[in-house]
Amino acid sequence: MFVRIFLNLTRLLPTQRQLAIVVCSVVLCGQIPYSYGQSSAALYDEHRKFDIAGGDAAQTLLLYAVQADVTFGLALSSVSGVKTNPVSGFYSPSKALELLLANTPLVAHINNKKQLILLNNAPGNEAEDMKESQFKKGLIATALSAISIGVTAQDVESADTQEQAATVVETIEVRGIRQSLAKSISIKKENTAMVDAVVAEDIGKFPDANIAESLQRIPGVYLERDGASNEGNRITIRGLDSSYAVTTINGAPVHTTSSMNVGTSTRDFNYDVFPSELFGQVNVYKSSMAELTEGGIGGTVDLQTPRPFDGKGEETGRYSVSAGYNDASESFNPKLSALYSNTWDNFGALFGIAYASSVNTRSGYETTGQYNTNALGKERKGTFRFNIDYDDPRVNLGDLTQEQVDNAFLPRFHRAYASENTRERLSSVISLQYMGDDFEVSLDTLLANLTDQRDEYTFGVAIRNSGQNGVPGIVPMDVFIDENNNLFGTFGNTTYFAESFPYDSQTDFYSVNLRGQYFLNEDITIKGQLTRSQSKAELYRNKVFNIADGVTSVIDSSQNTVYPVLTYDRDFTDPTAWNNMVDIGFLQNNEKDEDVLASLQVQWNFDAGDWYGNVKFGVSQATSTKTSTSKNGTSAAKSQILSNGKSFNDMSLSELVGLMDNSMPISPFAQKAGEGFPTTWSSYSRNTIESFFMPYQALSQTDIDFNSSFEAEEKVSSVFIQTDLRTDIFDRAFKANLGVRLSDTDVTANNYTLDGNTYIPNVTSGGYSTVLPSVNMAYDLTDELELRAAIGKTITRVGLNRIAANVLIADPFKAVATAGNPDLTPEESLSKDVSLSWYFSEGGLLSAGLFWKTIQDQPVESSTLVTFESLKLPETALGPIFIDPNTGKIPPNLDIVLNSYENGAEQKLSGFEIAYQQNFTFLPAPFNNLGTIASYTNVDTKSANWVANNGDVYNIPTVPKYGYTLATYYEDGPIALRVSYAFKSEKYVDPLNRGNDLNRVQASIGYLDASIGYKVSEDVELRFEATNLSDALEYQYYPNPAGLYGDGKSRKNAAYYSGRTFTLGLRGAF
């Protein structure tokens, strides 16, 4: 039987053979295509091109099923002999079916599972509810009739035939990575706008830790990793930072933050709150459309949770269990997920849950700020100052002059860094869905809880403030200047800081989305959506630090900039070595985001001669509220009575250092360090800080810091009209999307101002309107070649921290303040795109695109030097290192760098993207099982000007110049392998010269990952994954844009290793 089917298959014409393969691989095995986030009822919305000649129903119904993307559950022999009508043109599937069967004895309709059902009378009678076994028999009969004329319906219904038919399907079925890539290509091809997608192999089968890591495979999307967990948490699109991307869940705008970002009050979206297992698809829109939520100059990312009627609409159960090992932390990390979905006639339910735990260790070196010279400091330039004591008898400059030493660079800190982050994430998704013939409604809920417990320890020399506020100047005892104008060697009178930081953060998120659509008739659809989401995040930053002075040190980064030399003439594992002081600082940040969306949309489908399409009209109101509060519990902590019966203020230095451990608790640490780099020192444990100093009790008794707290509400009322048009031009398909979106935004900011010694509420309000037109077009130059073009106006709203915040010193150990500006308006961009895509084979794509953006009204940061007194801030706003020992207070005339923002800058970007993917099926075995995915993005930007100290002006790139991804995969039967590499080039971080003639650069970085999967059975797969195989070094450095002062990489700002992670797991179906 198998041979007979195969021989008949080979005799078919290419078009027939392709049709038969599609039917076998998709229909026979029940692999009904994904609905890509749409309901099956959306078939009534979507016009398709039909080209069916009149003839025997056994053939025409089969062609109709393929062209309409539905399954056909009836043996074709049962309709053989019935003549149907020709159908040619663009129609909705239901209209095409009506035309096909007009004036015939056949009656048919498409049910809610995208199945074509033939009835003896009108839809709705009992004949419609076919049993699953009957439908599958029909599927097999349909496929075999398309292949072999000699196989009868009775043959098909035999068990032997069904078994052999399944064998045929298993041979040609497309699954796994190839299946998901094919879906992604289909989405790209069907859309008129510039859209890329990442689609799971199946519901609950994304291969990455979270959604952000999946998105980096899309051209132009770069991944930003969280410094604590080393997970991807934010994305940038085409080089623009994460604030330029709008994220929606099921079409509704959402905001959330996590980990160390809590309290920054930006518009960025943290993807690490959500696991990948609870999403079925992610779409990235790089061009604008009127129906999309405005706000993303970079692009719009829509995360789609699964629903019961997605895909097959059948009973589905999936699970995954894995354990990961990180070689930096030497820890094992569990990960679990499960998802169950089923439908009962018109009702369906889906439930999913995912849990993950991880421990991540980082080690490296920090300067935590700029470099500066003694000479520039004396001129009040640079972000910090220090003094060199040339009067000390130990001074020995060797062959150097005092002028040379004064003009050489030293870092703000020269210190070792260690951290260990323990992360737990628990998430769930629930979807209830009703699918009728003309009505559909779903209630989708997404819940997530993310907690991070981070222990951070630093140890090293503090160059800053040497010679300030009673601290003696450093003494150059035996120094040299390297070829990059950095000062190294032996120094006396150095001051050491050791900081013990236990951080705790938590994010709780929920989203409830009620959406429905009603098909009034074939041409009119009404859609509505009500969504509410909330993200509550908190971050506790507790710190105990100790200081030692009078230390003689060797500081030398000339040979190793990641683990440089730092030696000293004191044993810092002995707590009594800390001879200066011990101090504490306990801070709390809370951030709450609330989003509410109500929208209504009417869609009218039309046919006008050779043109067909739809017109959409919609109205919506989106309200976003951000509440940001902070507390400084330091004062309460110092006065509260501790377990020894004393307060912190009453304890002596010897009593305080007596609480220290003789080592730093994070181990292993700095495994790649050589001799001369510190690997342990005395420190305070998390248990000591929490149980003895009681930070949480102190914070509970502390009022919020009114100066750094605010609430801002944005109410956006929008209306849009959009049309999607399709026709044939020169016998080739042409698509157009035209629209305009009008939005009116009202902003209300509530903060506090200091009136004498009392904070009083302050309310400011404002608003603006935007008109955002957009045009997208696509034309099939050939059957395989498609040309696209787009132009549109987009906006990005300024971060609420820059609008609503009062004067704020974010870091009490940096003399830097930021002032908000409630008059800031959105940035606006005119964006243009053009691309050419070649779909040269099944699963094959080669595309190239150009894009241009002109962004206007960007906020410009300006810095001025003001006195602390002029800010009217409480003295607790700054740390004790700024206290004058003679007065015990912050000096009123202490210099503070005040940063503020105003609209006015313009940034121009242009670039190109190239994407390529292919299954190498044309190669001889076993290489025919190989495939590859590659993308490259190049961005040229003209941004803010950087002005050197001599007055020269340089235009510096604040986005990565280029980035690329490359992945190779192999699939053969039960085996699947994948190796991928993602790289992005360096970028300038700071657009301003802070006075030291240097600028901070984020270095280029690449990540190498790999995975192996083996299917033990049809329902069970064993997987092994490895991430960050090259143990990539993440670092920043300080060059001069003109190339002065040698190699800027000799001046590291921070450099960290995070280790490799290896994961062994099992996933399957039940």
Q: Answer whether residue 81 is part of any domain.
A: yes
- C-alpha dihedral (202, 207, 208, 211), degrees to nearest 10: -20
Instruction: Give the dihedral sign, CA 650/653/654/658.
Output: positive
Top mean-pLDDT range of 97-101, 415-419, 864-868 = 415-419
Q: Answer whether residue 942 is part of any domain.
A: yes
Burial 487-507 (b: 16+ CB within 10 A, else e): bbbbbbbbbbbbbbbbbbbbb
Nearest to 373 by CA among 365, 381, 363, 361: 381
Which residues have a Cβ under 8 Å from the Cβ of 929 and sit 6 or more positions away? 920, 970, 971, 972
Q: Answer whether residue 314 is part of any domain.
A: no
Please state, in angstroms and rounded to a whole number, the distance separating the CA atoms of residues 747 and 740. 23
CB 412 within 8 A of CB 1038: no
Q: Answer whether residue 196 is part of any domain.
A: no
Residue that is last in its domain, among 148, 172, 196 = 172
SS3 (DSSP) at 876: helix
| Residue 615: other Cβ atoms inside 10 A | 16
On the 0-12 / 13-18 / 19+ scale of CB atoms within 10 A, 1038 is buried
Top mean-pLDDT range of 57-61, 436-440, 789-793 = 789-793
Give pTM, 2 decimals.
0.81
Statement: residue 8 has pLDDT above 50: no
Task: Please report how many Cα atoms fall inside a 13 Å half-sphere around the Cα of residue 164, on the Cβ side.
Answer: 15
* Confidence class for position 954, pLDDT limits 50, 70, 90: confident
CATH number of the domain where residue 871 is located: 2.40.170.20
Top mean-pLDDT range of 264-273, 803-812, 844-853 = 844-853
pLDDT, position 735: 93
DSSP 86: -
Helix 132-147 / helix 57-68 crossing angle, nearest 10 deg: 110
Helix 2-11 / helix 14-22 crossing angle, nearest 10 deg: 140
DSSP 474: B
pLDDT, position 433: 95
Nearest to 240 by CA among 788, 825, 796: 796
Please state, in angstroms and rounded to a whole number, the distance separating the CA atoms of residues 946 and 293. 34
pLDDT, position 884: 80
On the 0-12 / 13-18 / 19+ scale of CB atoms within 10 A, 427 is buried
Instruction: Give the dihedral sign, CA 70/72/76/82.
Output: negative
Please state, in angstroms and rounded to a whole number, the distance separating the CA atoms of residues 725 and 47. 10
pLDDT, position 263: 67
- pLDDT-wise least confident of 177-191, 314-328, 484-498, 760-774: 177-191
Residue that is last in its domain, among 139, 172, 205 = 172
Q: Answer whether residue 332 is part of any domain.
A: no
* Confidence class for position 209, pLDDT limits 50, 70, 90: low
CATH number of the domain where residue 24 is located: 3.55.50.30
Q: Answer whether residue 336 is part of any domain.
A: no
Please state, in angstroms and rounded to a whole number, the distance separating the CA atoms of residues 527 and 467. 69
Q: Answer whether residue 1060 is part of any domain.
A: yes
- pLDDT-wise least confident of 189-203, 205-219, 300-314: 205-219
pLDDT, position 342: 94
- What whole-number percentage of the chain has pLDDT above 70? 86
pLDDT digits (tens, 9 = 90+) for 691-745: 999 999 999 999 998 877 888 899 999 999 999 999 999 989 899 999 999 999 9
Nearest to 280 by CA among 25, 528, 35, 530: 35
User: Residue range 566-593: average pLDDT?
Assistant: 94
Beta bridge partners of 1008: 981
Please state, in angstroms and rounded to a whole number, the distance separating the CA atoms of residues 627 and 56. 67
Tell me the residue range of the domain where 962 lies.
358-1069
The residue type at 135: F
Please state, in angstroms and rounded to a whole number, the distance separating the CA atoms of residues 565 and 419. 20
Beta bridge partners of 786: 780, 837
pLDDT, position 227: 63
pLDDT digits (tens, 9 = 90+) for 587-609: 999 999 999 999 999 999 888 88
The residue type at 837: S
Pairing of strands 1001-1002, 987-988: antiparallel
Top mean-pLDDT range of 10-19, 57-66, 651-660, 907-916 = 651-660
Q: Answer whether residue 627 is part of any domain.
A: yes
Long-range contacts of 640-648 (CB under 8 A, 24+ apart): 640/694, 640/697, 640/698, 640/701, 642/692, 642/693, 642/694, 643/691, 643/692, 648/584, 648/693
* Confidence class for position 311, pLDDT limits 50, 70, 90: low
Statement: residue 944 has pLDDT above 70: no
Both structure tokens of 582: 């011990």
pLDDT digits (tens, 9 = 90+) for 890-912: 888 888 888 777 888 788 889 99
3-state helix, strand, coil in the chain (%, to 5): 20, 50, 35
Residue that is last in its domain, among 172, 203, 234 = 172
pLDDT, position 765: 84
Please state, in angstroms and rounded to a whole number, the distance separating the CA atoms of residues 644 and 654. 14
Statement: residue 27 has pLDDT above 80: no
User: Residue range 634-654: average pLDDT?
Assistant: 96
Pairing of strands 816-818, 895-919: parallel
Nearest to 575 by CA among 498, 465, 686: 498
User: Residue range 345-362: average pLDDT?
Assistant: 93
* 1070 or 481, higher pLDDT: 481
Instruction: Give the dihedral sign, CA 485/486/492/495.
Output: positive
* Confidence class for position 830, pLDDT limits 50, 70, 90: very high
Please state, in angstroms and rounded to a whole number, the distance separating the CA atoms of residues 1011 and 1027. 9
Pairing of strands 1061-1069, 371-372: unpaired
Residue whose entry in the numeric block shows the structure tokens 């150009």: 850
* Confidence class for position 35, pLDDT limits 50, 70, 90: very low
User: Residue range 765-772: average pLDDT?
Assistant: 90
Statement: residue 288 has pLDDT above 90: yes
User: Residue range 312-317: average pLDDT?
Assistant: 80
Statement: residue 1024 has pLDDT above 80: yes
Give one DSSP letter per residue of 476-533, joined into a string: EEEEEE-TTSBEEEEEEEEEEEEEEEEEEEEEEEEEEEEEEEEE-SSSEEEEEEEEEE
pLDDT, position 907: 83
Strand order in the sheet with 281-285: 195-199, 281-285, 299-304, 245-249, 252-253
The residue type at 451: T
Q: What is the CA radius of gyration of the chain?
A: 32
State the total domains in the chain. 2
- What whole-number percentage of the chain has pLDDT above 90? 47
Question: Average pLDDT over the chain, rounded to whole?
Answer: 83
Both structure tokens of 253: 């705008």
